Structure 1
Amino acid sequence: MKLRFLRIIVGIVLCSCTNKGGSLFSGASGLPSYSGIDFDKIFSQKDNTFEHKDSILSVLNTYYQKIWEGRHLSGGLLIAKGDNIIFEKYKGYAKDNKREPIGRDTPMHIASTSKTMTAMAVMKLVEAGIINLNQALTDYFPNFPYKKVRIIDLLTQRSGLPKYEHFVEEIKPAPKQLNKKFLTNQDILDLMEAYKPPMVRPANTGFMYCNTNFALLALIIEKATKAPYPEAMQEILFKPLGMSHTFVFQEKDIPTAAQSFYASGKRCPLDRLDLIYGDKNIYTTPRDLLRFSQAMYSPKFLNEELRKKIFIPYSNEKKGIRNYGIGFRMKIYDGGRKLVYHNGWWHGTNSVFVHMLESKTTIIAIGNKFSKSIYTAEELSGLFGDYPEEREALLLALKEKND
């Protein structure tokens, strides 16, 4: 089936071309961390190889030419099988003066894909016995008005809490916090405690994607570790996994961090929500994000019980293939086949992170110039697994004419 699909798609694109862990505690911080993972022992030779290599590489090259170059995308695209990078390209600029070309070491904002890392930092603290998944948020925030919300509800997007980007606009008259140039996570918590915006639905009764959940998880990480979230993430995740070009965006980074752009090429200005983290604001490179993905394939990433919890579909009230695990979106097809991923969007940033459980394939796309076309990278998963819906979507994308 896959071979037939590849033959069809290669024929079409050729015609179009012609026509144109381990140890929990480590380091001086004493925080639980993902240290001790031996990256040389995660993958077998089979994990690093794949069938129909020439056909797949042909499709990837044509995909890049048609989607990335043809639609003038800016950013980086990387695909890896195990620890074998089979495709990697970069284009565009990190700054509006066009003096900083984007390359393999250019950190870019990954927007909501940051949620995957916030979630795994929480899970490491759970493994260490510092956090309990069923704890109520009132254990950390005694004045929190939503008594039934638990940590697991935040991680699985089932809290029912209001979205901070909406309720801060609805508070009248505007409190003093809203006159600040930048709001903080603590400001969001303070506003929720003071004004008690109504819940959208009762806790743990259904899925609702909500940035508030992960902004609060960042505060819980700070309470649990007694360290600022940017520092805790460095100690728990980034340093142990060798993610040397990854950081949490803060005000001090404004002059140096890569910028994002509207589709027109005009730079997107910052707004008062731009320093809230946990739900967004991790800057990384495709290679660093690959390092995170590779670590997650290791049995030493988390104990087996917790690793299994990550990719369970938690919202089953409604039928459908889409669901959410712990910090990851997923599509569940016939026979229980799971496609695990997370996308991101903030200002001019778009990102895709696909972590394929069975084939041990990672697909990463980070763009800093707004375009929904970035999300077609998810459809490349159809080249590496039994996902006919993704293959059909990819085939359609490659047939479409560019403007």
Structure 2
Amino acid sequence: MNKIFILLLSVGCFGLSVTLYAQNNSSFFDKYMQKQTDLYGFNGNVLVSQNGNVIYKKSFGYADYNTKSKLDSNSIFDCGSIAKEFTAMGILLLRDKGLINYTDTLRKFFPELPYTNITIQQLLTHTSGIPDGFDLVSKFFEHNKIASNDDLIRLLAREKPPVFFKPGENMMYSGTAFNLLSSIIEKISGQSYNAYMDEHIFKPLGMTHTQVANGPRSAKKIPGYAYGFIYSDSLKNYVRADSMHSGWTSYLAGIHGEGMIISTTGDLLKWDRALKNHSLLTLATQQAMLSTQAEKKTFPFVHFGYGIRVGKNNFGNYIFHNGSYPGYEGMLIRYTDNDITTVVLSNNESHSDFIADALVAIVVNKNFVMPYVHKEISVKPDIEKYVGKYMLPLLRPPYMVSFPVELVNKNGLLYIHSGAGKDTELKPESSTKFYYADGSDQQIEFETDKDGKLIKTWHIGWGLKKEIKKIN
């Protein structure tokens, strides 16, 4: 009995210590985020909670760079692919009502499509092999109009592009699958996707700043809307993303299901709590959504529930989705063991994913390095022992995956060669620590023994320190 009591006390004290550390170090959050703002140009809103209690929430920068209007806690951002969680929820609500089954096929709802044996289950888990409908819209649709889901389905039926693989036998991330799911929601419910989301998800959860937002947007139509901005290398300034004539902000903007939902950090915390407390679904269905339903059998190895990534790292078990849209980057992640949730929404394409994880590192007081100004040393260190292939954290989706890169010696200078894009120089700030010359908050640190032999290698990205493995 005493042993059990001591064990429970120690577990409880660990959770308490994590909470107290975070609550007593709000200035630490501030210092980190101010560094990200001052040194690396972060612009956006952040929120950190534990057990549903907000322990840090702040806005940094502009809702509109042109007018210099400031962000605030109610500023509204595009969520990008975080929207897939909501589309999945819409389907699961219909299943709980007995209106749909996981085994129902796509052709049950759209018999004009040429794809047999693709199921709802496969669409929800990126295992359908469905071809990319956006490519068809870009190629065949008039760019001076705004396409709809019906247009996408019509083009799939007419052009009949083949599946990427036999349904259920592989995994490939698919926005088109979620476009089709949102159209299935419309067909079964008899409501528009926008109205269904509002009535069955947003309003019941009190998500008053969240909506499906197809087509052109403005702060006049949507009070609190934070415009997305992209840095122009030629102009040396931030410009409105919707002025760059991207397909996503013009002719593709009417297609919903994979994106096109706008929200706030506070509303996304309400959403996170609904997932935690199965506020909308039965317990069994909610658990299924947040459990591994499919895993990629080949590299890169990722796991999906229904419309959400699941997995485990050195902070514990996690569920998350990140999102991108021209001018925006977003991340919503919860580490389920300690119930730590971070929401980071940026309207200048800052690395919200890494920043969100760094905020978790502050909460648990683990694997965190405060950003600082890096200065190159004049003496060139011996770099030959660092040359080789490593598994480095990937900076593009899928997040939380390591990818092989090579550190190479170019005329006595150390470079990262990724095989995708130009090589990046690593500038030495000591004999064992190098920083990226591209201006991003990334460093490589080598740990050596007293004889100078390499023991460990670390990647530090946006304050988050992770060991990377040398693979040759």
| Distance in 2 between residues matched to 1:241 and 1:393, nearest whole Å | 42
SS for the counterpart of 1:70 is helix
Q: Is the alpha carbon distance of 1:333 and 1:104 closer, same or farther for their aligned partners in structure 2, counting shifts above 3 Å?
A: closer
Question: Which residue identity lines up with residue 256 of structure 1 in the other structure?
Answer: K
CA distance 1:373–1:304, shift in 2 (3 Å): closer
Aligned to 1:135: 104
289 and 198 in structure 1: CA distance in 2 versus 1, 3 angstrom threshold: same
What SS class does the counterpart of residue 283 from structure 1 fall into?
strand
CA contact (8 A) 2:354 2:461 kept: no
Distance change in 2, residues 1:365/1:356 (3 Å): same
1:105 and 1:317 mapped to 2: Cα distance? Answer: 41
List runs of 5+ in structure 2 lacking aligned partners: 1-14, 233-237, 243-248, 368-392, 394-399, 401-456, 466-472
Amino acid at match of 2:228: S
Match among 2, 27, 37 for residue 68 of structure 1? 37
Please state if 1:261 is matched with 2:261. no
Summarize the Cα distance change of 1:379–1:200 in structure 2 as closer, same or farther, 3 Å threshold.
farther
Does 2:191 correspond to 1:227? Answer: yes
Query: Equivalences for 1:187-336 in 2 at 5 Å?
Result: 187-251=151-215, 253-254=217-218, 256-257=221-222, 258=225, 259-264=227-232, 265-269=238-242, 270-313=249-292, 314-318=294-298, 322-333=302-313
CA distance in 2, matches of 1:141, 1:84: 44
- For residues 363 and 196 of structure 1, do their structure 2 counterparts lie closer, same or farther at Cα, with a shift above 3 Å needed? same
Cα shift at 1:271 = 2.3
Structure with higher strand content:
2
Deviation at 1:166, TM superposition (A): 2.5
Q: CA deviation at 1:95?
A: 3.2
Aligned length: 348
Amino acid corresponding to residue 292 of structure 1 in structure 2: W
Q: Contact conserved, 1:159 with 1:204, CA < 8 A, in 2?
A: yes
Task: Give, in whole Å, the separation in 1 of the partners of 2:155 and 2:299.
Answer: 35
Deviations 1:138-172 (A, max 9, x none): 11111111111111111111111122232334x5x
Whole-angstrom distance in 1 between the partners of 2:87 and 2:312: 23
Aligned equivalent of 2:120, options 141, 146, 151: 151
C-alpha distance in 1 between matches for 2:108 and 2:360: 41
Single out whichever of 240-249 and 294-303 deviates more from structure 2.
294-303
Structure 1 residue 393: Cα displacement = 8.0
Preserved contact between residue 83 and residue 258 of structure 2 (Cα < 8 Å): yes
- CA 1:320–1:95 in 2, change beyond 3 Å: closer, same or farther? closer
Aligned to 2:413: none
- Report the Cα distance in structure 1 between the residues aligned to 2:350 and 2:332, rounded to whole angstroms: 16
| Deviates most, 300-309 or 156-165 | 300-309
Give the aligned partner of residue 74 of structure 2. Answer: 105
- Aligned-partner Cα distance in 2 for 1:98–1:303: 46
Alignment-mate amino acid for residue 76 of structure 2: P
Alignment partner, residue 341 of structure 1: 320
TM-superposed deviation, 1:119: 1.0
With 105-114 and 158-167 compared, the bigger mean Cα shift is at: 158-167
* CA-CA distance at 1:371 after TM superposition: 2.5
| Percentage of identical aligned residues | 26
- CA 54–218 in structure 1, closer or farther in 2 if over 3 Å, else same: closer
Tell me the secondary structure at the aligned position of residue 76 of structure 1: strand
Residues 384 and 323 of structure 1: CA distance in aligned 2, closer, same or farther (over 3 Å): farther
2:215 and 2:250 in contact (8 A); partners too? no
Taking a change above 3 Å as real, the CA distance of residues 395 and 99 of structure 1, as seen in their structure-2 partners, is closer
Listed one character per residue, the Cα deviations across residues 345-388 of structure 1 (whole Å, up to 9, x for unaligned) are 11111000002222222110111112236533134334456986
CA contact (8 A) 1:82 1:294 kept: no
Q: Hey, what's the Cα distance between the residues in 1 that align with 2:153 and 2:143?
A: 16
1:263 corresponds to which letter in structure 2?
Y
Structure 2 counterpart of 1:53: 22
Secondary structure of 1:266's counterpart equals strand
Is the 8 Å Cα contact of residues 321 and 333 (structure 1) preserved in structure 2?
Answer: no
Which runs of 4 or more aligned residues in structure 1 lie more than 6 Å from their structure 2 counterparts after TM superposition? 46-49, 385-390
Partners of 1:352 and 1:135 in 2: CA distance: 31
> Aligned equivalents of 1:386 and 1:137: distance in 2?
47
2:460, 2:24 → 1: CA distance? 14
Structure having the higher Rg? 2
Residues 387/130 of structure 1: CA separation in 2 closer, same or farther (3 Å cut): farther
Q: Is residue 122 of structure 2 the alignment partner of residue 122 of structure 1?
A: no
C-alpha spacing 1:374/1:49, structure 2 compared with 1 (3 Å):
closer
Tell me if structure 2 keeps the 8 A contact 1:376–1:394: no
Deviation at 1:240, TM superposition (A): 0.3
* 1:331 counterpart letter in structure 2: G
Counterpart of 2:462, as a letter, is A
CA contact (8 A) 2:211 2:261 kept: yes
Residue type matched to 2:101 in 1?
N
Secondary structure of the 1:94 match is strand
- The separation in 1 between residues aligned to 2:102 and 2:21, in whole angstroms, is 43
In 2, Cα distance between equivalents of 1:382 and 1:123: 33
Q: SS of 2:85's equivalent?
A: helix
1:286: how far off? 0.3
Q: Larger % of helix: which?
A: 1
Q: Once the two structures are superposed, what CA deviation does each residue of 1:64-110 show, in whole Å capped at 9, x if it has no partner? A: 11223432222210011123111111123333532542211121111
Amino acid at match of 1:204: G
- The Cα shift of 1:282 comes to 0.5
1:309-363 CA-to-partner distances (Å, cap 9, x unmatched) read: 11222125237663211111123348x9522111111111100000222222211
Measure how far apart 1:394 and its partner are.
8.9
SS in 2 for 1:364: strand
